[in-house]
Amino acid sequence: MSDSGASTLLTRAMQRRSFFQVAGAAAATSALLLAGCKDNNVTPTEPRLSLESGEKGVFTYAYILEQLEAAFYQKVVAAPPTDFSTEEKAIFQQLYEHEVLHREYLAQVLTSLGNAPPANLEFTFAAFTLTTRVGVLEAAQQLEDLGVAAYNGAAKLINTPIFLTALAKISSVEARHAALVRDLRQPGSFAGSDVVAASGALAGLDDSKTPLEVLVEVNKFSVIQISGAALPTA
């Protein structure tokens, strides 16, 4: 995919869709009690989204990552910490818009593959302290580092060249996001030993995680538990 082609798709996505978070409340199944017959009780089940195999599953996985980040930045932009500077507010607005562009582009890819992107995604960020600059930047770094590692691990699972190119471009933007957030936390830091291999064949390169490793972290924020058991591994 050429740069102009990818840019056109992303622009169209912005024009057609709103910046508001795609979210829906998933209803848990309620227990059905039949009078005088306890054996017929139905145990409530936890809402679950199971990703399918192949590239469709991988792109759904990528879509979920972008929706997670978009939901996070949307929350911060809507209620920034009081000690955020004007510049930092503008930066987070731009980061939010980038994540929305990525999400909408991936939604188009899924549609082209015959899949509708999941519409019942909802995330909670109660584990983070989003009322202070320090807390927001720590949370942003955690999510951006996770996204970079996720894309690095997913690249080998894509066989279609045009899709691999698109994924690589998104990954490079995510890496710049991660570097920017680190620099906001500690000027001049750019990267850290916690996300860059110090030795071996991957020395100097960003961390890489498998989808299953990443989904363990994603499920800490997702209201609906997401299973990647069917995703390709090689």
> Which residue type occupies 10?
L
Q: Sign (positive/negative) of CA torsion 131, 137, 140, 146?
A: negative
Provide the 8-state DSSP code for 96: H
Q: Which of 16, 150, 130 is nearest to 83 (CA)?
A: 130
Q: What whole-number distance in Å separates Cα of residue 146 and Cα of residue 209?
A: 8
Q: What pLDDT sits at residue 120?
A: 87
State the DSSP H helix or E strand holding residue 49, giving kind and residue range, or none if neither: strand 48-50
> Which residue type occupies 130?
L
Spell out the domains of the chain, with CATH numbers in brackets: 59-117+130-190+203-225 (1.20.1260.10)
Q: What pLDDT sits at residue 148?
A: 96
Contact between residue 14 and residue 211 where contact means Cβ atoms under 8 Å apart: no
Q: Which residues of the chain have pLDDT under 70?
A: 1-46, 190-206
Q: What pLDDT sits at residue 45?
A: 55
Whole-model pTM: value is 0.76
pLDDT digits (tens, 9 = 90+) for 98-148: 999 999 999 999 999 999 999 989 999 999 999 999 999 999 999 999 999
Q: What whole-number distance in Å separates Cα of residue 234 and Cα of residue 227?
A: 17
If you count them, how many residues does the chain have?
Answer: 234
